[in-house]
Amino acid sequence: MSALDSIEWEACLLEPVPSPETERRVRRALGMVPPGSRYFLDSAWFADALIALDIGHLQLQHLRADLSEMVALVVSQDGACRYCFSATRGVLGIMGFSEARIQRLEGDLLAGELPAGDRAALQFARRVSRSVPPVRAADAAPLREAGWSAAAIQELTALTAVNVFFNRTSTLAALPYESIERFFARPTMRLLRPLLRRFIGPRRVSQPMPLSPAERQGAFAEQINAFDGVPLAKRLRAAIDACWCGSSLGPRTTALVFAVVARGIGCPLSEREATRLLRADGFPATEVEPALAHLASPSLDARQRAAATLARDSIWPQPAPLQRQARAVRAQFTRTEFIDLIGTAALANALCRLGVGVELARPHA
Amino acid sequence: MRIALALLALAATVAVAWLAVERRRLRRRLDAASAELQRLQTDFGRFAPSAVVDRIAAHSRPVEAERREVTVLFADLVGFTALGERLPPEELVALLNAYFGRMSRVLEDHRGHVAKFIGDGLMALFGAIEPNPWQANDAAHAALAMQRTLADYNRELAARGGPALRAGIGLHRGSAVAGILGSQALLEFTVIGGTVNLAARVERLTRTHDVAILVTDAVRSQLDPRFQLDPMPATPVHGVGEPVATWALRGFEEQRDQ
C-alpha cells in the first residue's frame, strides 16, 4: 500500500491524440516519448516545455540522481499527485530502492538511514512545494548547516519547482496512474532494471551553466536570472518563453493565470511581473486589482474567469475536486486551448515557488 | 589453534546471522509502524481537515500555532431547542446528522472546512489552513449555498412530514490564532480570538434583524460588488465597545459585470 492510495482521482480528462511530427521531435530530444507526454503533444509549445523540463534529462550540478528522485517523491506526495508519485516510485525501484524503503521514505521514516544533508533537502523541498507560508531564505538554514552551498540550494529549489510543474500537469489532466504503474510492473522492465539503472535519472554536469544574454531577457526575467549558473535555469527560461510565444490562450489569459497563482501563493515579485504583462496587453490598470481580488472584471470574458478560477484551485490542489472542476471548464475551450491552460497553470505554479531563490540570490541572504 | 579458529569463525557466523535476523526484525517493525501511521492518518482524517492531517504527518512535531487572516462562519438552527423537545432522540440525531452532512459538503465545495459542531450549530473557517486571499467571497458564496441547500433539505423533510429547519449564518473576518488545541486525549484544529467571538455574536444578530445571513464590515469591504447587501442598524453586542454594523447578504448577481 502506498501513501496516496486513499487519494481520490478522476478518470483522465484527455485522450492521447497521435501527432507524428511532434512525437518525432520529442523522440529526437529525449530518446523516447514519455507515456505521460502523449496526452499533450498537439500543443507545440507544451511539447517544447515537456522536453525542456523532462526530469529524466535534466542536468544537475550538485544533486545526486537518487536524491533528485527522492525529492520528486516527497513533492508529488505533498501535491497528492498520484501519477507522478507512481512514476517516481517506478524510477526509484529501477534505482534499487526496495518497496519497504520507498514506504519508509513516504512515511518520513528514513531519518536514521539518510545523511543530515539529504534529510534537510527533503524537508526544504516539502517547504518549497507547499509554500505555506511563503518560503524565506531562513528556511534554508538547515541546508547551510549541513554544508550545502548557495548554488546547490538554488538547484534544489529549481528542481522542486520543476517537479511541481509535472505534478500540476498530471493532476489537472487526471493522467491515468494505473498505466504508469503497469508500465513499471512489466516483466521486461524488471529484467532490464540493472541496465536501465545506468541511464535513468538526471545527468551530472561539473560546471555551472550561465544564462546567455538572450536568456537573461523575457517574461519573469528577475526570477529566472536569480538562478543564473544553475543548469535548470536555462530549461525554465525555455519553458516560459515557449509558453509566452506559443500558447493559444493569448498573453492576457496567460498573464492572468500567472497573476492569480502569484496572488494565491503570496509571491509579490511574480504578481508584479504578471500584472505588468497584463497591462502590457492593454488590460486597464484600474481593473487589475478588482480582477485579482474577485477573479472577475468587465475586462475578463467567461473563459478568462474560468481560467482564473481553475488556476486559483491548482495552487494547493485536492485532486478529485480540481479534476471535476477542470472537466467542467473544459467545455469552454478547444482541446488545444485546454491543454495550454493546464500547461500555463502548471508553469505558473512552478515559477511562483521560485521566490525564495530570488531572496537567496541577494548578497545579504 | 584450529579449534579456536573454528570456534571464532562459528561465533562470527552466528553473530552475522543474528545481526541479519535482527535487521529483518527491525525492518518489519518499521514497516508495521509505517502501516500503522497510514491507518492513523486515515482515521484521523475523519476528525480533522485532511490538510491538517497531512501537515502533522509531514512534520514529526505538532503544527505550530500561527496568527492568520481568517473568515469565520457560524451557523445555528433557529428554534431547534423547542424542536428537540418534540422529536424522539433518534429522529433528532438523524435530522441533525443529515443537515450537518449537507452543510459540510457545501462548505468544502467553497474551500472552507468545518472546525467544530456545537450542538445544533457549526463553526467553519476559510483561510485557516492555507492562505486564501479570496476567503471573504468564498465564505459569502458558501453562506448563500448553505441556505439554498437547506431549502432543498426542507422540501425533502416536508415530503416525509418532517419539520422545517431555519438557519441563521454570521460571517466575520479578521486575525486569529490557528493551531491544534486540547489535551492528549482530545485535540482539535481550530482558531481562537476576538474574530471568532464576534462571528458568533453576529450569527445571534440574525434573530434580532430577522435575516438569514449577516456579514460584518470587515467581510463586506472584501466582497465582490456583485453580492447584494442591505445595511442593518448598528447594534450593541456583548463584549464589543461600539455597536456593530452589519449587512444582510441577500444574493449574488451572476450576470452583472462588476
What residues of A are in contact with residue B222 (Cβ under 8 Å)? 293
CA A214 vs CA A218, A334, A359: distances in Å: 8, 33, 23
| DSSP 8-state symbol, B256 | S
Q: Is the pLDDT of residue B69 over 60?
A: yes
Which amino acid is residue A234, in one-letter code?
K
B29-59 per-residue burial string, b: 16 or more CB within 10 A, e: under 16: ebbeebeebbeebeeeeeebbbbbbbbbbbe
What residues of A are in contact with residue B104 (Cβ under 8 Å)? none
Q: Is the pLDDT of residue B41 over 60?
A: no
Work out the average pLDDT over A259-282.
96
The answer, for A95 touching chain B at a CB cutoff of 8 Å, is no
Q: Cell 535555469 sits at which residue?
A: A233
Give the tens place of pLDDT for each residue, A290-329: 999 999 888 999 999 999 999 999 999 889 989 999 999 9
The answer, for A142 touching chain B at a CB cutoff of 8 Å, is no
- pLDDT, averaged across chain B: 86
Model confidence at A111, pLDDT cuts 50, 70, 90, reads low
Q: Is the pLDDT of residue B57 over 60?
A: no
Q: Is the pLDDT of residue B45 over 60?
A: no
ipTM of the complex: 0.84
Size of interface A-B (CB pairs under 8 A): 67
The answer, for A316 touching chain B at a CB cutoff of 8 Å, is yes
CB-based contact A230:A208 (threshold 8 Å): yes
> Residues A294, A299, A301, A307: is their CA dihedral positive or negative?
negative
Q: Taking the model in full, what pTM does it have?
A: 0.86
Probe site for chain B from A294, A312, A315 (most B CB atoms < 10 A):
A294
Give the tens place of pLDDT for each residue, A20-73: 999 999 999 988 898 899 999 999 999 999 999 998 888 999 999 999 999 999
Q: Is the pLDDT of residue A360 over 80?
A: yes
User: Cβ B258–A298 below 8 Å, yes or no?
Assistant: yes
User: Cβ B27–A1 below 8 Å, yes or no?
Assistant: no
* Phi, psi dihedrals of residue B254, rounded to the nearest 5°: -60, -40
CB-based contact B52:B190 (threshold 8 Å): no
pLDDT reported for residue B59: 44
User: Cβ B34–A106 below 8 Å, yes or no?
Assistant: yes
What residues of B are in contact with residue A126 (Cβ under 8 Å)? 58
pLDDT reported for residue B258: 46
Which of B34, B111, B258 comes nearest A107 by C-beta?
B34
Show Cβ contacts of residue A348 under 8 Å, excluding neighbours closer than 6 positions. A257, A258, A260, A261, A262, A311
pLDDT reported for residue A333: 97
Q: Is the pLDDT of residue A101 over 80?
A: yes
User: Cβ B34–A104 below 8 Å, yes or no?
Assistant: yes
What residues of A are in contact with residue B133 (Cβ under 8 Å)? 263-264, 292-293
What residues of A are in contact with residue B60 (Cβ under 8 Å)? 108
User: Cβ A109–B34 below 8 Å, yes or no?
Assistant: yes
CB hemisphere CA count around A258 (13 angstroms): 30
Determine the residue of chain B that is closest to A300 in CA distance: B257
Which of A6, A107, A292 comes nearest B37 by C-beta?
A107
Q: Is the pLDDT of residue A113 over 90?
A: no
Q: Give the residue numbers in B contacting A (CB under 8 Å), as ranges.
A: 27, 30-31, 33-35, 37-38, 42, 50-51, 54, 57-58, 60, 66, 108-109, 111, 130-134, 137, 222, 224-226, 257-258
Determine the residue of chain B that is closest to A322 in CA distance: B109
Nearest Cα of chain A lies from the Cα of B42 at a distance, in angstroms, of: 8
pLDDT reported for residue A123: 93
What residues of B are in contact with residue A313 (Cβ under 8 Å)? 111
pLDDT reported for residue B43: 53
